[in-house]
Amino acid sequence: MRRFDGKVALVTGAASGIGRATAQRLVSEGASVLCCDVNEAGLQETLQSLAVEGRASAQICDVSDVAAARTAVAAAVQRYGGLDVLCNVAGIGRFQHTAEVTPEEWGRTLAINLSGTFYLCQAALPHLLERRGAIVNIASSAGLIGQAYSAAYCASKGGVVQLTKALAVEFARKGLRVNCVCPGGIMTPLLGGFRPPPGAEIDLVTRLKLVEEKAEPSEVAGAVAYLASEEARYVNGAVLSIDAGMVVS
């Protein structure tokens, strides 16, 4: 499939996991992609894995820094002539007893997962509106259900779900689509932080799991690419779970 020939995408969190797989998928379908992340070495690995000349480049960008978010959007437009697709994938999280969450960690989680997503959306809006583009945000199953030991993560991802819906309605008549994906149990480095903390009640973190197997980042990237593509022309404000049924159990 070449659903993104001539299109330009900006992908955050592109140095690893789902962001890298998304960049790979979009490039393989013809897009030019600005790969954004705070991890420079990871970005270089992503670029090497893409092996395309001139259709992908790296941009160091801390999404929680509003100026950096605006610079990244401007870089995509300057390098590739516009912007059609924004994928907000960057995120952090881990299990932690709520009593041990410091104000700094609470703030950092909200700043990266939620504010960062908003900053990129806001900066990209005029360009996406110009091209009748699409935004795909990565929320989480933890944005839909209660997940123990995840107060800040749940709060931030629930915010991403609602941010997605708010933008979807506000811009529906202007041709911009905004959807989100809610993964759960995807094999990436992030998953390593979701180990039950000492003294945790294990059944609280396993209660919703229907299967033991995990999914690959590329499986999420396939859904992101669909939502970003013209095939999803009539899909707006959708919240797509990719979690083997966890949130319906």
- Please report, as ranges, the residues that interact with ligand NAD according to CB under 6 A: 12-13, 15-19, 37-39, 42, 61-64, 89-93, 112, 138, 140, 183-186, 188-191, 217
Is residue 167 a contact partner of residue 198, using CB atoms and an 8 Å limit?
Answer: no
Q: CB of residue 116 vs ligand NAD: minimum separation in angstroms? A: 6
- Nearer to ligand NAD by Cβ, of 19 and 159: the residue is 19
- Nearer to ligand NAD by Cβ, of 155 and 191: the residue is 191
* Bridging pattern class, strands 177-183 and 8-12: unpaired
Is residue 226 part of the annotated active site? The answer reads no
- Nearer to ligand NAD by Cβ, of 67 and 129: the residue is 67
| Cα(159)–Cα(114) distance, integer angstroms | 6
Q: CB of residue 188 vs ligand NAD: minimum separation in angstroms? A: 3
| Cα(241)–Cα(109) distance, integer angstroms | 21
* Cβ partners under 8 Å of residue 68, min gap 6: 60, 61, 62
List the catalytic residue out of 80, 119, 153, 226.
153
Q: CB of residue 18 vs ligand NAD: minimum separation in angstroms? A: 4
CA triplet 121, 165, 239: central angle to 5 degrees? 105
Which residues are annotated as catalytic?
Answer: 153
